[in-house]
Amino acid sequence: MLDLSENKLSGSIPDWIGTKEELQILSLGKNQFFGSLPITVCCLRNIQFLDLSQNNLSGKIPKCINNLTSLASMAETTYLTSHSYGFYTNLVPYDLNAWLTWKGSKQMFMNKGLRLLKIIDLSSNHFSEEIPIEIEKLC
């Protein structure tokens, strides 16, 4: 989970975001990001919640958006985190709770409800072309 929403961040969305393939929740909404949506976003195959809303993004939505296959999956996800203790790493399951903006108001989503949630929010930006038809594959 990476939540950097509402932080007045600006500049372009960094390309390294796409290198975090294990990322399931990415919230960059309500910032001042501008420029094109980097093609590397299409590498987030495990993403279930992608919020890039209320920024100043422009250009086109990449056609490879249909690579975000976890958004189309009906299966639940089991969230895991890795904790490092010295030289040892253990995978430990944990409960995940998150405040998410849903229809304009913040709401708490807890554990099972959050696991079932699948959202992509690109609203309130300045994309210049039509929404690519490839996005239908996420429905």
Place of tokens 């989970």: 1
pLDDT, residue 89, reads 39
Q: Are 115 and 76 in contact (CB under 8 A)?
A: yes
Q: Give the chain's end-to-end CA distance (angstroms, integer).
A: 23
What is the sign, positive or negative, of the torsion defined by CA atoms of 71, 73, 76, 81? Answer: negative
Which are the contacts of 81, defined by CB distance < 8 A and separation ≥ 6? 91, 92, 94
Q: Are 71 and 41 in contact (CB under 8 A)?
A: no
pTM of the model: 0.72
Place of tokens 């949630």: 117
And the tokens for 113? 């409800």
pLDDT, residue 103, reads 65
What's the one-letter identity of residue 72? A
pLDDT, residue 64, reads 92
Per-residue pLDDT of the chain (139 residues; tens, 9 = 90+): 898 999 999 999 999 998 988 898 899 999 999 999 999 999 998 998 899 999 999 999 999 998 988 877 654 444 433 333 333 334 445 455 666 666 667 767 665 555 556 788 899 999 988 888 888 877 6
